[in-house]
Structure 1
């Protein structure tokens, strides 16, 4: 089956809640380019997927072998939850990518976009027993809102899918122990900004822990538990003028990419 797409230059990629396939393809490609731009990628590995509107059980994912900086809107492979291609592409798909993403798309109705990276700080924090601590405002969004999944080897077996979705639960982020991090978004913008700020929070934590160690075991200051809980509620319940994650930032990201290299739209 051949997918005929409209001119990508006419899609409203800056609208974070757009839901037609052509626009989602451009936004998904933009997300790959942003992950590469901010140094969160891992060569040709890792994967970001988006649910195809109007096609239950189908999602778009990257072909195996392209750098994130090479991804564009027309390159994606459309597959179903069993890994079958549902378009005419012959490009391969990363097996672990299929296992992880099919689990989340099938198990979470709000998982329109699923993003998995091996970003360095997040992976380092995934190896700490305590995980991500509420040491910074960056981290407060995730306080009490991150699941943990123990490492089971490379995710090649479909049997792991039920444990992935169990451990994710209703959280927006899943820490993959000794492996990396996964974020879930109602929009591409949301999935990206959650991954971006998890990495920022993890970097701050590692810097603080390193500084404390270098200072001869200086004590890290953690806010009172009630304050951490308050900040978490403010972010997750969108108090005051806080909007859904990524809503404000996404148009600026599109402007950035259009200036740097608009080929992601092709």
Structure 2
């Protein structure tokens, strides 16, 4: 992968997340590790995901690990530290995602354990999703970014109560799909809880098996490619 490909992947992933319903006007962002080790590629502040196009290169930034804009214009996102610190903490990660997914925010406010009642819930192998509780405000400092990275650990995604979610992956499709699957798991459980007491769920063993069976890299890639195709059909001018 070169820098041009990294920029293209930021655009593609942004469109995929928009197609999945996780857009929040100009807020939320995807970051891809710069292949030359200079930092991250991320959209510039003030633009929506669906507004990114390869012909509008100025809408992307290369931000250093010291949070300085190396390419592009304007200041970096206030929350660039989410991506910088997650990628610094885990060298194998390629992509990180932060969204204000509505079902994730609503579910996190209830304080309930995320349970494996669906394929999506099995992403966490029968364990609860990590939750970053240090702040419900912006992750606007390296210290908060480091704390978030520590809370995420090796999990595919984490809830940020009073704020949103964060997801990560060793590929762009994995990071995007981890965000999508967490949102869907939260939405399914919210619907179940609205109807009554949850009585049926996977055992820890079944949830672990389902994670391996339902969410290998090939299936994450397949889901991601669907969202990319969907975005091509639905976004204006594409």
Task: Give the secondary-structure state (helix, strand or coil) at the position aligned to 1:246.
Answer: helix
Question: 8 Å contact 2:86–2:146 — kept in the other structure?
Answer: no
Question: 8 Å contact 1:139–1:198 — kept in the other structure?
Answer: yes
Let me know the Cα RMSD of the aligned residues: 2.3
CA distance in 2, matches of 1:67, 1:33: 10
CA distance in 1, matches of 2:62, 2:215: 37
1:252 aligned partner: 226
Instruction: Summarize the Cα distance change of 1:245–1:165 in structure 2 as closer, same or farther, 3 Å threshold.
Output: farther
Say whether residues 1:31 and 2:13 are aligned partners. Answer: yes
Question: 8 Å contact 1:151–1:178 — kept in the other structure?
Answer: no
Q: Which stretch of the first structure deviates more once superposed, 69-78 or 189-198? A: 69-78
Say whether residues 1:204 and 2:214 are aligned partners. Answer: no
1:232 to partner: Cα distance: 2.5
CA distance in 2, matches of 1:147, 1:117: 16
CA distance in 1, matches of 2:131, 2:96: 16
Task: Give the secondary-structure state (helix, strand or coil) at the position aligned to 1:183.
Answer: strand
CA distance in 1, matches of 2:81, 2:191: 33
The gaps in structure 2 that reach 5 residues or longer are none
Task: Give the secondary-structure state (helix, strand or coil) at the position aligned to 1:184.
Answer: strand
2:176 aligned partner: 192
Say whether residues 1:43 and 2:43 are aligned partners. Answer: no
Task: Give the secondary-structure state (helix, strand or coil) at the position aligned to 1:146.
Answer: coil
Structure exhibiting the larger radius of gyration computed from Cα positions: 1
Instruction: Summarize the Cα distance change of 1:240–1:139 in structure 2 as closer, same or farther, 3 Å threshold.
Output: closer
1:20 to partner: Cα distance: 3.1
Instruction: Summarize the Cα distance change of 1:240–1:101 in structure 2 as closer, same or farther, 3 Å threshold.
Output: closer
What's the TM-score, normalizing by structure 2? 0.87
Q: How does 1:109-128 map to 2 (within 5 A)?
A: 109-128=91-110
Task: Give the secondary-structure state (helix, strand or coil) at the position aligned to 2:6.
Answer: helix
Say whether residues 1:222 and 2:200 are aligned partners. Answer: yes
1:14 aligned partner: none
CA distance in 2, matches of 1:109, 1:155: 21
Instruction: Summarize the Cα distance change of 1:158–1:94 in structure 2 as closer, same or farther, 3 Å threshold.
Output: same
State how many pairs are aligned: 233
Q: Which stretch of the first structure deviates more once superposed, 109-118 or 139-148? A: 139-148
1:145 to partner: Cα distance: 6.8
1:103 to partner: Cα distance: 1.0
1:62 aligned partner: 43
1:122 to partner: Cα distance: 0.7
Q: Which stretch of the first structure deviates more once superposed, 148-157 or 252-261? A: 252-261
1:215 aligned partner: none
- Higher helix content, 1 or 2: 2
Q: How does 1:157-176 map to 2 (within 5 A)?
A: 157-176=141-160
Instruction: Summarize the Cα distance change of 1:136–1:251 in structure 2 as closer, same or farther, 3 Å threshold.
Output: closer
CA distance in 2, matches of 1:209, 1:168: 26
CA distance in 1, matches of 2:214, 2:67: 42
CA distance in 1, matches of 2:23, 2:155: 23
Instruction: Summarize the Cα distance change of 1:158–1:246 in structure 2 as closer, same or farther, 3 Å threshold.
Output: same
